[in-house]
Structure formats: structure tokens, C-alpha cells
Structure 1
Amino acid sequence: MPLFASRKTRTAKAKELRPTSIVTEKLEQTLKNRGILARLLLCAFALVLMTAVVEGWRAPFPYRLGQRVNHGVTARADFKQIDRYETNRAAAEAAKKIPFIFTRDKTTVAVLSAKLRRHLSEIAEAEDVNNLSSEAKKAFKLELVEGANAEKSKKTIQQEFGTLQAAVSVGAGAGNQIEIICNDFQEFIKPLFLTGVADPQELTRNSIRKDSAVLISDDSKQKERALTASDILLSELLKDTGAIGKTWVDYPKLSAIRAQLKRWIISQTPHTLRYDKSLTQQKQKRAREQSKPVYDSFRQGEDLLPPGKVIDEELLTVLKAEHDAIEGQVSSVQQVARSATVLAMLTVLAILIGYHVVNNHPKLVQRFDQLALYLSVVVIVVLLGRMLSFDPMRAEALPLVAVVM
């Protein structure tokens, strides 16, 4: 037996001392397994989705409707909140400033002079009121009234007819007088061409007052003039202070038959304006939408909620506005850091849950479709819990029900 055992060579020692890592080998095998890698990527995608669902880049809003805050709330930054009441009032005022829009038919007014010339010609040629056509009688209100006052009415009609016949039959002849009267009449009724005539019943139906602003949509010049409903009512135009009534003195020929001609104008002038309700409402809606909101301003340090008071809808809106103002001051870098923190916490939680599932429920993760279904349920539960967390009802019941099921 040799005194000393044979020595191992340096090469043999090196081969014997070479380290082996079981963890590294398993990791390599895992990364080479496409099925396992796909399931890991699915889990990572679910974690990213949950981070987005909970809005990990934003600080959570801590207040809820009906919550009682014992310590009260003080504004942590300057912010503005829309005053709904004043904003709605301003929008309503903007809509009120929109004039009522009317469309006009000019052709019907243009035939008035021709119609008057025809009726006056009948009067000039007639020997008696009975020789007039029913149209002319009706136009000048020369129709006989039946009843107890028939004799008086007949006498009045004869006087009216005599006044008209005298006006068109003096001087150089009836033809010249009628032409003069019709030319004066054409100038006299010019305001009807400028404004038109509206139906007073239509104004009443649409609650349009006499002092309400109106706009004639088919005439751009009218947009530069301040018109009111009284400017398009024939009864107002014929008053002594109206656009037509105040010019009687400028036309002596017309003034001689003022009473008769006024009745003729009232009976023969058509309603040339039609209220365009649809267009008016469109412009009122646009005015409301373009109305600027009215804000309430709050300063940092101002008390928003007294201690012990319950949060109602109005206070919740103010607190939400303060929260949004603070979040608006957060930089993009801070938002990324917040998201990374939330993702890291979810990852730790996923590792703990995954360890439990792999060791106790391995069948759940062995198939890709089963794992996808499980993760989908988890993400949906988180999403619904996030949505319901803003409601007074307790969102904690949703995950509990999902677990029980």
C-alpha cells in the first residue's frame, strides 16, 4: 500500500468544483417554455390593465356622498368651481337676448296699390253704393247692417260713400285723382315694405310681447335695426304715434278719407310675416351653449367643509373640483412614478396569489384559456369595484360576491 494516495490533477479538481444553480436552470427552462412565457405575459398584461383601471397615476379621491368628515376640510390650493345656478341663469339671459325671427313675403304687400286703384275706380264710376261689388263694399266696410239700426247704418254708409266719391271725382277728373291718391298711398305704406305685418294671434300663441325684439330673417338690413313686435303689428303702425299713422299729415289727399282708408288697410293688408319658431329655438340653443360659465373662486386655506358636517352633492362637487385642481399640478414624471408604485404593489400581490394558486390549484394555470378567464374576472371585478366606489353603496360587496361564487 503506497504511503501517499495518488494526487488528483488540477484539471480534475477544477471540474469537480464547478458550481451548479438549480434556480438558474429552472429559470432558463421556464423562459424557453413558450406556454409558460405566454401565461406570464398574460399576467403582466392583466396587471397593467388593473393599474389603468384604478388610475394609478392619480391620487385617490377620498370623499364620498353622505360621508361625515369629523375634522373638516380646508382648501389645499387655489381653484375655481362652476356655479351651476349662475351659469344656467347666464345661459337663460343669453337665450332671452335672441330676437324672435320672422320670415317675410314681400309680394303680397306689393299688390295693395293695384287693389286700391281698382276699388277707387269702382267708386268713381258707381252712381250709388249698391252699384259697388261685394268685394269693394267689404273692403271699405260699406255693407248694410241688419237690425234695429239698419236705417242709421244705411245713412252712415251713404255718407261714407259720398265722402269717397267726392275724393276721387273732383278737379281734373276721377282718373287723375285716383292716380294721385294711389301714388301717395304707395309712399304712405312704405313702412309695410320695410317691416312687414305679423298676425297678432300668432304673437299671442307664442307669448311674444309687444316690446319683444324681433328680426326679419330675409333682409340683412333689418339685422342692423332694433325692431320690436309693435313695429310689425298693423294696429300699432296705424296709431298716431306709429310709423304709418304719424305721416297722415304729409298726405292731404289721404287725410280727406282717413277713416275710410284706415278701415280699407286693416281689412286688405295681409299678414306677410310668419314666426320661424324652429330657427329661433336653434339660435337660442346656440346662445345658451356659447354662454360662458360662471365660476366660484376658492383660495388656499379657505374652509370648504365645517367639522362634523355631512357631505352633500354640492359639497362633493366642490371637493372634486379641488381634487382635480391639485391633480392638474402633478407633473408627468410624478404620474409615471405613481403608476410604477401601484404596478409594483399589484405585482407583489400577484406573486403571493400566484404562489398559492400554483401550489394549491395548479390546474387553473396549466391551461391558457382557464387562466385568461380567471384574470378577466379579476380585472372586471376591479373595474366594477372602482366604478361603484364613487357611489354611496359599498363596493366591497362586489369582490366578496365574486369570491363566494
Structure 2
Amino acid sequence: MSLNMPKRKRPKRVNTLEMPPGFWAKFWTQLRRQDVQVRLLLIIFAAVLMWACIQPWNPPFSYRPGYAPPRDIVATVPFRHIDTIATLQAQDLSAQDVNYVFALDATRLLRLREELHNILVQLVSSDRPPAIWKEFLPSEKQEPKQNQEADAAEPTDPETLAKARAARQEEFQQFREALNKEGALAKLDRALEEALAPYERHGILKRPPTEEELGQGRPDQILIYREGGEEGPEDGEIVPVEDLLLGEGYRLQDRLSGAIDSVDVADHIYHWLMSRLNTMPSLLRFDSDATEKARQAARARVQPVKKRYAPGQTLAQANHPLTEKELQVLREEYQEKLSLPEAIPRKYLRGTAGFVLILSLFSLCGYFIYRKELRIVDSLRRITTLLLLAILTVLLSRWLSLDSWRAELIPLLFFAMTIAIAYGQEIALVLSCALAIMISYAVGPNLELSIILGGTVAAAAFMLGRVRSRGKLIKVGFLSGLVAFGLTMGLGILDGQPLLSLFYDGLHNFGWAIVTGFLVSGSLPLLERYLEVVTDISLLELGDVAHPLLQELVRRAPGTYNHSINVAALADAAAESIGANGLLVRVAAYFHDIGKMLKPSYFIENQGQDENRHDSLLPTMSTLIIIAHVKDGADLARQRHLPQPIIDIIEQHHGTTLVQYFYERANRQAEDNPDRSPLDEDAFRYPGPKPQSKEAAVLMLSDSVESASRTLAEPTPTRIRHLVEKIAMARLLDGQFDECGLNLQELKTIQERLVKSLIAVYHGRVKYPDSKPEPKPEASRSVPSSQGTDVAVG
């Protein structure tokens, strides 16, 4: 019988064969995913920010104080340099031409005129010269005091003294008669007002101003303004100093003689005024603030004095450390080169090259992270945090490099140590070396700086493995500082730098590394919380048996606590055998069954000889109670703020395994009742997730093996090995290890380690001659454990 099927040719048969997608097909498939596009846009945005921080379009100014150039540095473009010394000298000359500022208080002079008028009225009304009259006489005409010895040249006989008193009496009478005339006092007041008017307007100086006393300023003229008036120093009047001095200036005696008819009266008035003016406070007060303000304004008006440099002119000599003045000249030449029109195309070229460099380094680091640390790629928060740390590191390093201390090592080393703690040594090494290239490109493109930065962070990443104490962070900082010191000295000597300058630079880098160690040690709790990582230091603190959760577990469920301690010992050794974090597994094992403390009597290890409560429950209800301890444990852990890695292991330590005992029990009940619907196996499985890390997988196996080993009546090595292999194979075939990255070789290693540990637990004892034979164990009764494995208790 013919089937009449069409015959296909060979090319058609070949075309129907579908090959697996190639690299580019997979790439485009992944690129069309929305979450991948979000991550790519975030990385590109971070690259733009990094590009803006580095500013590659401007070549960095790479000279620093103390650097000795190997050859002469010559000018490449013409420029003008501000001569600081010449500019300061010009500013000082301008400040010396400033007028001293004085504030005038003329009220004292007005009160002096009123006092003189009152005294003159008193003199006119007196018949005999009062005591105040002597102030109107020249000093040579004043009568000597009785207790004062007379000069040897003057006659002291009574007749001579009597004649002198008569002469003074006559002089007083003449002065009195001159003022007794009608209108004489009023005329004298007007004359005094006219004579003292210039002093009321400008004041009086007792001595000329000097630079030693008042600072820089003109000694020949001053600026005067009225104190307390509406006008300020800027509205003052400039007056020559010679016009303000007593005895000079406006010639007070001449003005009085010209204004007063009687020469004798003018002479007496002049002597009285001079005696008072010499003793009264000055009418002019030096205003230091206004004068200093005028000096600063004068300095500011001075244009900088610039020195011209031609191309080819030497700016710094070879093998001589650069001074501050030379650095200033080199910086001005650098700014001049950047401002030239022909530098614009090169800026575009440098900017493009810098962005390509940043994208290349980002791509390299991203690919390495994708291959080594998928948990960073899977978490958008972790990617954002990592990019933000990288940008802040470059920004702070660039800012700190501008200082003469050159502390760009601190942010980079802090970044390297932080990433090593959070994600491991390999990730820290790659990322920190990439940032070292960017930083050296930003602060000064030279090979020596790249080697120093890269070598220092590489040393820190290599030495920073498991952190069990804060002292290790300080130790790593110290050793990294030694590496930085050695690299600084070695590369500097090869470059021909002065030893003293190299020694100081090396000490700076050594000190910055130690400072970074202390900074990381102090900020470790914040880093753990922000980066969602847990260090060995925190694990050791959590592993303390005095933890409140463990103490409550001992009180409520002592059997579960004992089970957790045994599982911790097994899991720690098994995790260390494959290079996983044994301490994390140990601490997680302490807490993995804390959810059982809410209903401890429903778990076999806490029942003792009591009746099994599951005998009166349906299998589905028992399954719900057994499964609930995982969710309850995770909730308790979150309530007590346990680290997220431990919470993850609590949720994953059963994966999606089947609660075998109650599932089979439900099957038996279903067989007895043919009207019941088929069982849903998923209803008897844990909700998961499956183990996502090797540590969670190790704890799953250790938990199952520890529980199942208690069912062995005679735990011989052969039976123990068979039990471990059976449970491991069951978990493997059930797909529980599909998402944790555990390979078959590591699974085999874990099995061998668990077998050795269990054999050590159930080792035999030598019977002593007088010991009584042990009774045979009774038949065991099978009751459920939380592992889904039948656990026998004698």
C-alpha cells in the first residue's frame, strides 16, 4: 500500500534543521528586553557623568610643588605673566598716596569759646586780678609759687617784687578797661568766631601724621569729615597738614591781632587759647577703618603688572624642584594654551577620545561583572549604587588632587576596600584598576601615577579577603601604605626626582592609606547596611549564643536548637570544603529553623515522649503547619533586623522540596477513598524559592542529612554514606540545585565532607569489661520532620 507522501529534496531537508541561536542573535534578543535597556541607559548616563567629572577635553595640569623636570621647560606660546612682586610694589605705592581720614568733632571748640566768654565777663567785673588771670599771661610774666625756688638771674628782693605786682595790676586794669567799653565784649566774641572759624571747620592737629604711627598714607594732607553728620568719609574735604598745626597753619595769633583792636588784649587771649588747646583732647580723630578702606580701594585700582614671555623662553630649569613662582608661570602658560582658538578642535578630539575610553572601561568592567557576579546585574539597586560609588570616587579624587597634599589615593583605596568587602577581591581589583586609569587620566596623564594608584589598590584587594576583625582593615591599610611608599620611591628614583621630595610624597601616600583603613573600619556598619552585604565581623556578632532569638529558641524549642547547632557544624565544614562562606552558613544554620518556636510541639525533635499531634490532623493541615515555619522564620528574622543574606537562606533552605511523609500519607488515604479527586503534589511542596547560592544549597543538604541520620538504628559508615548519597541525588533530580551554581564536582565534595562529619558524630565506643550490655533498641516509630524525610526516634 502506498502512502503517497511527497518526496523532499535534500536542500529542503537541510533547511528544516534549526540551529541554536548564535552570539549576535542572543545579543539582539537580550537587547530587546526592557530591563536590559533600562540598565544600559543607566550605564550610559553614568558614563556621561563620569566624562563630565574627568573633563578630558582639557589636558590636566600635571606639575606639582617639588617636582624636578628632567629637562628645561620652555614656553610654547607667547603669554603674559602677572609679576606678583612688581604688582605688590605698585599697590604699596598707590596705598602710600592715600590721604589719612580724620573725623572732626568741633563741639569742643564751641564750648571753649563759651568758656572764654564767661571768664572775660568775670574778669571785667573784678577790681583785682583773680587767680584765672595768670592763664592770660605769658609764662615769663606769671608770679612764681612760694614753694618754688626763684631763678638765680631774677631779682627776688621785696622792692622788685612789688614793682612787678604793680605792673601786672596795671596790665590787668588796662585789659579790663579795654573790655569795659560799650560793645567791646560783643565785638570780641565776633572776632573770636572769625579767628577760630577755620579751626571749627577743619580742626587742629597737635603734630603731623607719620607712617610709623598711622601706616601708609600722605604726610602732607589729610581728608576730614564731620563726625555724626549726614556726610561720610567719601564726602570729606582734603586739607593741607600745615594749615592745621597750632602755631602754624592759619596763624592764630595774627588772626586775633587783626580781628581785635587792642594788641594787648589779642595777645592775652592768644595765650589763654594756646594753654587750653594744648591740653584739651584733639578735635580730630583718626578713622583707621575708613583709611584702610581707602588703601584697599587704591590697591584695587592698580592694574596687575605683567611680564611678557616669548615662545622658547625657559620657564623652569631641569633637575630643579619647581617653586611656587614657577608653578604660577606654568599655570598661566597652561591657561593661555587652553584659550587659543586653535585649541578648540583638539578639545573636541580629546573629549571624544575620553568618552570612548570611559565607555571601553565601563564595557570591560560590565562584562567581567556579568561573568563573575550576576547578583549585581540582576539588581537595579546594586548597579545604581556601584555606579554612584564610582562617580563619587573619581570626583573626590579629582578634587583632592588639586591640593598640595595630593590625597587622590584616599577615595580610590576606600572604593577598592569597600567593593572587596561587598563583592569579592576579583571584582574589586578590576573595578579599582579601571578607576585608577580614569583618575590618572584626569589629574595628570603619567605612567607613574597609574602604577602607584593601581599597585596600591591591587595590594589592598589581594590582602582583603575574609574580614573577621576591624583590625584587619587597619592592617590592610598599613600594608597598602607600605606598597604605596615603595612604589612612590622606586618610580621617583627612576624618574630622577629629588630624594627628599620623594620621601615626603611617599610618607603622604603611606599616611593616606592608613587613614583610609581607619575610615573603612569606622564606616563598616553603614557600608553593610547600604550595600546589603554582611561581613564576617557581623556574622561573628550574630553567632553569639546570647542573641535574643537563639535564647528564645532554647526556651521554646530546645530540640530544634540542638538540631540547629548540629546542622551548623555539618554545614560549616561542608561549605569550607568547596570554598563557600562557611561562617555565613554556620550562622544561618543557627537561625534557619527559628520559625518552629511559634509551634514547637508540632515538630518531632520537640515532642519527646508526648503524643504526636499530627495523628489527629489531616495531611494537608499538617503540611501547612510544617511549611509555615519557613515564612514565620523569615518574618522573625526581618523583625529582628537580621542581614538579608541570612533571611534569604532561611527562605531557601527547603527550596521547593516535597513534604514526603504527609504526601504519602495523603496518597494512602486517597487509595482508601476512590471518590476523592487526585492529589495536587504542589500543595505538599515548600513555596521556595530554590537555593540561589552555594551556601543555601549546602545548608539544605546538611539540614536534610542531619535529620535523616537520626532514623538510622545502627549508623555505620556504610549506612551513613548510602543515606547522604540518596538524599543528595534526590535533591539533584528534584531540581533544587538548578539555580545556585553548584556543579557535580562540588556536590561530590559536599557529600564526602558530610559523610566524614557524620561518621565522627556517630563514632563507636570501646566497651569496658565491667559495663553491662546495652539493651536492644525498641522498634522505632516513624514521625514527620520538617525535611520531608521520615525520622525515627527510639
State if a TM-score over 0.5 links the two structures. Answer: yes
User: Per the alignment, do residues 299 and 124 of structure 1 end up closer, same or farther by CA in structure 2, a change over 3 Å counting?
Assistant: same
Maintained 8 Å contact 1:105/1:273: yes
Match of 1:214 in 2: 222
How far is the alpha carbon of 1:185 from its aligned partner?
A: 2.4
User: Per the alignment, do residues 81 and 221 of structure 1 end up closer, same or farther by CA in structure 2, a change over 3 Å counting?
Assistant: closer
How far is the alpha carbon of 1:154 from its aligned partner?
A: 9.6
Of the structure 1 ranges 194-203 and 256-265, higher mean CA displacement relative to structure 2 is found in: 194-203
How far is the alpha carbon of 1:353 from its aligned partner?
A: 1.5
Aligned length: 394
How far is the alpha carbon of 1:358 from its aligned partner?
A: 0.8
Is 1:300 aligned to residue 311 of structure 2? yes
Is 1:344 aligned to residue 356 of structure 2? yes
Maintained 8 Å contact 2:225/2:237: no
User: Per the alignment, do residues 159 and 97 of structure 1 end up closer, same or farther by CA in structure 2, a change over 3 Å counting?
Assistant: farther
Is 1:188 aligned to residue 200 of structure 2? no
Aligned amino acid, residue 366 of structure 2 = G
User: Per the alignment, do residues 161 and 383 of structure 1 end up closer, same or farther by CA in structure 2, a change over 3 Å counting?
Assistant: farther
Match of 1:378 in 2: 390
Match of 2:325 in 1: 314
Match of 1:329 in 2: 340
Of the structure 1 ranges 157-166 and 56-65, higher mean CA displacement relative to structure 2 is found in: 157-166
Is 1:264 aligned to residue 272 of structure 2? yes
* Misfit runs of 4+, over 6 Å: 12-15, 17-21, 139-144, 150-158, 201-205, 219-224
Maintained 8 Å contact 2:96/2:218: no
How far is the alpha carbon of 1:46 from its aligned partner?
A: 2.4
Is 1:93 aligned to residue 93 of structure 2? yes
Aligned amino acid, residue 85 of structure 2 = Y
Maintained 8 Å contact 2:72/2:318: yes
Match of 1:122 in 2: 122
CA distance in 2, matches of 1:14, 1:389: 65
How far is the alpha carbon of 1:84 from its aligned partner?
A: 1.8
Q: Residue 378 of structure 2: which of 363, 366, 374 is its match? A: 366
How far is the alpha carbon of 1:64 from its aligned partner?
A: 2.2
CA distance in 2, matches of 1:153, 1:273: 43
Is 1:41 aligned to residue 56 of structure 2? no
How far is the alpha carbon of 1:293 from its aligned partner?
A: 2.0
SS at match of 2:80: strand
Q: Residue 163 of structure 1: which of 171, 180, 187 is its match? A: 171
How far is the alpha carbon of 1:187 from its aligned partner?
A: 2.0
CA distance in 2, matches of 1:210, 1:156: 49
How far is the alpha carbon of 1:195 from its aligned partner?
A: 1.0
Match of 1:237 in 2: 246
User: Per the alignment, do residues 216 and 39 of structure 1 end up closer, same or farther by CA in structure 2, a change over 3 Å counting?
Assistant: same
How far is the alpha carbon of 1:144 from its aligned partner?
A: 7.0
CA distance in 1, matches of 2:85, 2:147: 63
Aligned amino acid, residue 353 of structure 1 = C
CA distance in 2, matches of 1:164, 1:361: 115
- Give CA-to-partner distance per residue, 1:244-301, whole Å, 9 cap, x none: 3454553463632454322311344553332222322333333333432222221222
Aligned amino acid, residue 262 of structure 1 = Y
Maintained 8 Å contact 1:191/1:243: no
Match of 1:147 in 2: 147
CA distance in 2, matches of 1:220, 1:377: 56
How far is the alpha carbon of 1:389 from its aligned partner?
A: 3.9
How far is the alpha carbon of 1:303 from its aligned partner?
A: 1.4
CA distance in 2, matches of 1:238, 1:317: 55
How far is the alpha carbon of 1:344 from its aligned partner?
A: 0.6
User: Per the alignment, do residues 215 and 226 of structure 1 end up closer, same or farther by CA in structure 2, a change over 3 Å counting?
Assistant: closer
User: Where do residues 7-156 of structure 1 align in structure 2 (5 Å cutoff)?
Assistant: 23-24=24-25, 26-34=27-35, 36-130=36-130, 145-149=145-149
CA distance in 2, matches of 1:380, 1:199: 66
How far is the alpha carbon of 1:99 from its aligned partner?
A: 1.9
Match of 1:275 in 2: 286
User: Per the alignment, do residues 18 and 255 of structure 1 end up closer, same or farther by CA in structure 2, a change over 3 Å counting?
Assistant: farther
Maintained 8 Å contact 1:164/1:257: no
Maintained 8 Å contact 2:136/2:268: no
Higher relative contact order (CA 8 A, sep 6+): 1
**Sequence identity, in percent?**
20
CA distance in 1, matches of 2:181, 2:50: 98
How far is the alpha carbon of 1:323 from its aligned partner?
A: 0.5
CA distance in 1, matches of 2:14, 2:242: 114
CA distance in 1, matches of 2:190, 2:399: 78
CA distance in 2, matches of 1:44, 1:395: 25
User: Per the alignment, do residues 69 and 394 of structure 1 end up closer, same or farther by CA in structure 2, a change over 3 Å counting?
Assistant: farther
| TM-score, normalised with respect to structure 1 | 0.79
CA distance in 2, matches of 1:312, 1:258: 71
User: Per the alignment, do residues 114 and 400 of structure 1 end up closer, same or farther by CA in structure 2, a change over 3 Å counting?
Assistant: closer
SS at match of 1:85: helix
- Give CA-to-partner distance per residue, 1:9-64, whole Å, 9 cap, x none: x9x89985999776345434434323x33332332222222222222120122322
Aligned amino acid, residue 54 of structure 1 = I
CA distance in 1, matches of 2:169, 2:197: 27
CA distance in 2, matches of 1:123, 1:46: 97
User: Per the alignment, do residues 18 and 115 of structure 1 end up closer, same or farther by CA in structure 2, a change over 3 Å counting?
Assistant: same
CA distance in 1, matches of 2:348, 2:165: 96
Match of 2:412 in 1: 399
SS at match of 2:145: coil
Maintained 8 Å contact 1:39/1:368: yes
Aligned amino acid, residue 194 of structure 1 = R
SS at match of 2:183: helix
SS at match of 1:129: coil
